[in-house]
A and B are shown apart, each in its own frame.
Chain A
Amino acid sequence: MNVSKKEVEHVTTLARLALTEEEKTLYTEQFNVILEYIHRLNELKLDDIEPTTHVQQLKNVLREDQARNSEKELLKKVLEEAPDKEKGYFLVPPVIE
């Protein structure tokens, strides 16, 4: 199963990246080498095997829904990290024309 440059382009869109033509060519080549190695997994019979999503047996770790860390100072600090902001809001380019 080979990956084409077109598929790599599609993945780039899904992943919200924008690669140059050179990068696309390089990643297509490297993808194929890596995927060929990954195809080792096809040697295994896996029909009756349960998937492991997590190694722990913990389930539904719940806590009371209480407001914490809501002090103004912290909100100010969080917003200080924003690349662009105005009047206590994050500023973004127009989403709807």
Chain B
Amino acid sequence: MELYEMTAYEAATALQKKEVTSLDLTESVLKRISEVEDIIKGFITVFDNEKVLLQAQNIDKLLAEGKEMSPLAGIPMALKDNMCTRGVPTTCASKILKEYRPPYDAHVAEKLQEAGTILVGKANMDEFAMGSSTENSSFYHTRNPWDISRVPGGSSGGSASLVAADEIFFSLGSDTGGSVRQPASLCGVVGLKPTYGLISRYGLIAFASSLDQIGPLTKDVRDCALVLDIIAGNDPRDSTSVPREKEKYAGYLGREVRGFKIGLPREYFEEGIEEPVRKVVMEAMAHCGQLGVEVEEVSMPNTLYALPCYYLVATAEASSNLARYDGIQYGFRAPEEDNLIALYRKTRNQGFGPEVKRRIMLGTYALSSGYYDAYYLKALKVRTLIRQDFERVFQDYDLIVTPTSPTTAFVRGEKINNPLTMYLSDIFTITANLAGVPAISIPCGLAGGLPVGLQVIGRPFDEGRMLQFCFTLEKLLGFKGLKPSIPAKGVLRDAS
């Protein structure tokens, strides 16, 4: 077994037992990257190998000196390229930020650095996190390691594919409407969107501020808990970060789940779902009986309205957040000598890709005079109904389980020209963002050789018990150990 095939926990355990060094682990992932990255294309930036290896040697030195460090010290990882890293490019996969080098680190980047993890590079994504396939990156497409003609999902498609392809032990993504969970589902890895406010968004480039959350993408549930232990917690620099006592999520793993009550909302198993996906999720849930977990069908009648609600709220917020890109203070500026307004318009027109422009326009329209009540205000009211659906079910049930995505990974190019079809890919994930509740996707089986994700949704700040349930279920699912086989470089026919 190659070192890069291990989970972060296995690698960290080997490190603590002094069976390997951080240098060994880092060399191993860099070797893997050199073998498969030309095919997967999950990175936008891979840092200078010498510098990355030097970092690993430093951690080895600190560990040898007996310095107390986090359980994941010395483990190589990647960040989605919308998280600021001081002095190194942070592009959001956009032409408008192509040369941008932030003067500061995001909160999560600081936390992971303090924890002694090794940042290897920045992951590809849909431009400004807008998309469900990573086809909206203005640089190149990322491929799904399970089938390279298919998309990895999005918008954190780079983060997910890198973990699935063993190019990295774990990564972070961001999730506004499913952008961590949907690619996790399509790539067969674990992806968590925490409760709104659990992780500081300081230094996360904003898309829709009332929905955005950062979350880990990992090889299994234990790794997810370990990463969450590092990045969760209050940060006064993000006023939406909730002040509460820090929990130890890894401490929930292995605890008894007998007596848990789970609701299966029927609306998530009816509209738009592919039958093989439904079947695999239901088969996974059949294990609940032997765990002493009670499963009942419930109804969340407003689910149907979540997607239209989301595309008003998210685009309205995006149109406002992205107003800052004007070519003056940082980023790309279009050549224009004479007129300030023309400079703004040319810069934004040349700097943004088609999906970003579409969403800015839709959001501007929804907020514009005469349409505010008909669109934006209406969407905010529907958001209340969706929140109430969750509150009602959580009065009687501990967790809600749904499929993560209505389909397995789709073929590149299949949905990119029809925005609405692409949006439907997030139909099961956006409700958790609108309600602000935590949700996690774990791989639960294969359909047609492609991974299927099962989504577990919890009450606000109930990540601990969600992880507890997922950890137990994961052991029974038999997905663990399954790996995609990535073709060698030479056989690549479709080089788009």
Q: Which of A3, A16, A84 is the one whose CB lies under 8 Å from B333?
A: A84
A19 near B349 with CB under 8 A, answer yes
- Centre residue among A8, A11, A53 by max chain B CB count within 10 A: A11
1/0 contact trace for B331-359 toward A, CB 8 Å? 11100111111111110110010100110
| CB atoms of A18 and B309 under 8 A apart | no
Known contacts A34-B420, A40-B308, A56-B196; A8/B361 CB under 8 A: yes
B224 at interface (Cβ–Cβ under 8 A)? no
Q: Which B residue's beta carbon lies closest to that of A56?
A: B197
CB distance from B314 to the nearest CB of A (A): 12
Residue A67 lies at the interface, judged by CB distance under 8 Å to chain B: no
Task: Pick from A17, A30, A63: contact of B236, CB below 8 A.
Answer: A63
**Contact check: which of A43, A52, A81 meets B380 at CB < 8 Å?**
A52
Interface size on A, residues (CB 8 A): 51
Given A18-B349, A81-B101, A93-B340, CB of A44 within 8 Å of CB of B305: yes
Supposing A8-B361, A51-B381, A81-B329 touch, asked if A16 and B341 sit within 8 A by C-beta, the answer is yes
Q: Are A95 and B340 neighbours in the complex by a CB distance under 8 Å?
A: yes
Q: Does the CB pair B357–A38 fall under 8 Å?
A: no
CB neighbours (8 Å) of B476 from chain A are none
Q: A8-B361, A55-B196, A84-B333 are in contact. Are A90 and B328 (CB under 8 A)?
A: yes
> Does B362 interact with chain A (Cβ within 8 Å)?
yes
Asked, given contacts A84-B333, A93-B339, whether A17 binds B382 with beta carbons under 8 Å apart, the answer is: no
Interface residues of A in 57-97 (CB under 8 A from B): 58, 61, 63, 74, 77-78, 80-84, 90, 92-95
Give a binary string over B431-443; 1 marks a CB under 8 Å from any A CB, 0 the rest: 0001110000000
List B contacts of A41 (CB < 8 A).
305, 308-309, 378-379, 382
- CB contacts (< 8 Å) of A93 on chain B: these are 336-340, 342-343
| A56 engages B328 (CB within 8 Å) | no
Give B461 Cβ to nearest chain A Cβ, in Å: 11
- Report A-chain residues with C-beta under 8 Å of the C-beta of B342: 18, 93
The minimal Cβ–Cβ distance linking A38 to chain B, given in whole angstroms, is: 4
- Contacts of B375 on A, CB cut-off 8 Å? 38
Kindly state the separation between the CA atoms of A78 and B336 in the bound complex, as whole angstroms.
22
Residues in B neighbouring A3, C-beta threshold 8 A: 365
Residues of B within 8 A of A (CB): 87, 100-101, 103, 196-197, 210, 236, 239-240, 242, 302, 304-305, 307-309, 311-312, 319, 323, 326-333, 336-346, 348-349, 352, 354, 357-358, 360-362, 364-365, 368, 374-375, 377-385, 387, 419-420, 423, 434-436
Knowing that A44-B305, A52-B387, A92-B340 touch, tell me 5 more A-B residue pairs with CB under 8 angstroms: A8-B361, A16-B326, A38-B308, A51-B380, A84-B333
Could you show 19 A-B contacts with beta carbons less than 8 Å apart?
A17-B348, A17-B349, A31-B362, A31-B365, A34-B311, A34-B362, A39-B308, A40-B308, A43-B305, A49-B381, A55-B210, A61-B239, A81-B329, A82-B329, A82-B330, A83-B331, A92-B340, A93-B342, A93-B343
